[in-house]
Amino acid sequence: MGVALFAAFTSFSAYTAIFAFRKAFNVGAFGGHTLFGLDYKTVLVATQVFGYMLSKFYGIRFISGMKRVNRHWLILALVGVSWVAWLLFALVPPPYNFWCLFLNGFPLGMLWGVVFSYVEGRRTTDLISAALAVSFIFASGLAKTTAQWVMNAWGVSEYQMPFVVGCVFMPALLIFVFLLEKIPPPTEADKLQRMDRQPMTGVERRALLKRFWPGLSMLVLIYILVTILREVRDSFMADMWRDSGAVFEPGVFAQTETIISLVILVVIAAMIWLQHNFTAFMLTQWIMLAGFALALTVTILHGRGQTEMFTWMLLTGLGLYMVYIPFNSILFDRFIAAFRFAGNVGFLIYLADSFGYLGSVGVMLAKSVFQVKTNWLDFYMQLVLITGFTGLAGTILSMIYFRRKHRGFLQHPDQQ
């Protein structure tokens, strides 16, 4: 358990520092400019997410086939490129600096898979990955709060702010990335229960998709929906607070995201005590169902004026992350262990991520290109309602498919 706690703390801290290089800029309004006939902040967000999306498609092959050597240098190199992009963003005048967001997003898209490769395939992965996964909830709030503080206290402009926030977090990044290398590899007992995680070839990736394509397609659809919600919420949360007319304090980001992080950490980490892999895999989908139901219910109440802005933002965020976090922590890890096939989580996460971010780019651009006459707050509420109903149906169908698939696996394991 000591190794698990060390791995959990180290991976959480490392990714918290990494995340600051991606999300701090979202606090800025970046007003006064348009580009391609679009609001400039929308262009910036979409450009970064587009780079992130292309990175995920590239990562399907790169991360799934990555060797487990020199990963700490890879992390530092990728973050270094993204940091240089923020320096260029500060030096090149707007709106001609928008392309810097692509240079920032592409290398950062690789990092989740690299960091997760340190912790997958262990009997304690549920605990470790829960800490790692909630890091980007907590880190998002911390990065935004730090960004607001940097601008208020140091008089830094919103264009300089992302690079300065990177300076603040870089020392912690260096420390915790090198500590990642001190995490011992999975033991033989880990490999026996959770399967040995190895790089995957193209033949193995295609065979896995052929074997499980109906269920995986449903899971990817669910993930597309929650990724869109998460990106809109994360990128335009400050704008939604302004649209609501509620009192807006810089520390509100850290408050909501810290509470959500603690709740999700407890829920996901508790799965460590559940040894039966298929039961854990199915229970994870029950958690996802509950998340969709929570977000849907509280949004309906908020639309009727029965909840305050803080409560609604907190509970919709909690429901959203009850779906989103399992994909990035235990869902695919337990899936591999339950169906006993050779592979790694990186392939499945990046398969889902690539299409999830493709959907995010499409939705954000569609709102601006087709000039949807609604602010980000009302737009997000509509997305929650659509995603809630669709997600409930999709998760139920996924659970039915995988239960039938597992029943067949138990009866004829050699034919699966």
What's the pLDDT at 137? 80
Higher pLDDT, 231 or 381: 381
Res 226 pLDDT > 70: yes
Cα–Cα dist 81/409, whole Å: 45
For residue 416, is it within any domain? no
Mean pLDDT over 186-199 rounds to 88
Q: What is the pLDDT of residue 294?
A: 97
Collapsed DSSP state (helix, strand, coil) of residue 245: coil
Quick one: pLDDT at residue 7?
95
CATH of the domain at 335: 1.20.1250.20
Identify which has the larger pLDDT, 88 or 377: 88
pLDDT at 207: 92
Report if pTM > 0.75: yes
Per the CB < 8 A criterion, the answer to whether 194 and 399 are in contact is no
Task: Give the 3-state secondary structure of residue 34.
Answer: strand
- Residue 414 in domain: no
Q: Is residue 236 very low, low, confident or very high in pLDDT (cuts 50, 70, 90)?
A: confident
Question: Is 384 among the domain residues?
Answer: yes
The reported pLDDT for the residue numbered 107 is 97
Instruction: State the sign of the Cα–Cα–Cα–Cα dihedral 40, 321, 387, 298.
Output: negative
Residue 139: count of CB within 10 angstroms of its CB? 25
Smallest Cα–Cα separation from 368: which of 42, 26, 41? 42
Structural domain contains residue 264: yes
* Tally of structural domains, the chain: 1
> Span 369-380, mean pLDDT?
77
Q: Which is it for strands 34-35 and 38-39: parallel, antiparallel or unpaired?
A: antiparallel
The mean predicted confidence, pLDDT, of the chain is 90
Other CB atoms within 10 A of residue 102 CB: 18
Per-residue model confidence as pLDDT tens digits over 125-182: 988 998 898 888 888 888 988 999 999 999 999 999 999 999 999 999 999 999 999 9
Give the orientation angle of helix 100-108 with respect to helix 71-91, to 10 degrees: 170
Look at residue 182 in the predicted model and tell me its pLDDT: 95
Q: Could you tell me the pLDDT band of residue 413, with boundaries at 50, 70 and 90?
A: low
Give yes or no for residue 416 having a pLDDT over 60.
no
Share of the chain above pLDDT 90, in %: 62
| Contact present, 229 and 383 (Cβ < 8 Å) | yes
Q: Say which residue the tokens 């590899």 belong to.
A: 185
- 206-220, 235-249, 299-313, range with the lowest pLDDT: 235-249
Question: Given this model, what pLDDT does residue 414 score?
Answer: 58
Q: Which has more confidence, 376 or 90? A: 90
User: Tens digit of pLDDT for each residue in 42-87?
Assistant: 899 889 989 999 999 999 999 999 988 899 999 999 999 999 999 9
Give domain status of residue 142, yes or no: yes
pLDDT at 105 over 80: yes
371 lies in some domain = yes
Q: List phi, psi (to 5°) of 77.
A: -65, -45
Tell me if 218 is assigned to some domain.
Answer: yes
Whether the per-residue pLDDT at 250 is higher than 70: the answer is: no
Query: Is residue 246 over pLDDT 80?
Result: no
Does residue 393 carry a pLDDT above 60?
Answer: yes
Instruction: Please report the pLDDT score of residue 400 as a whole number.
Output: 96
Domain that holds residue 61: 2-409
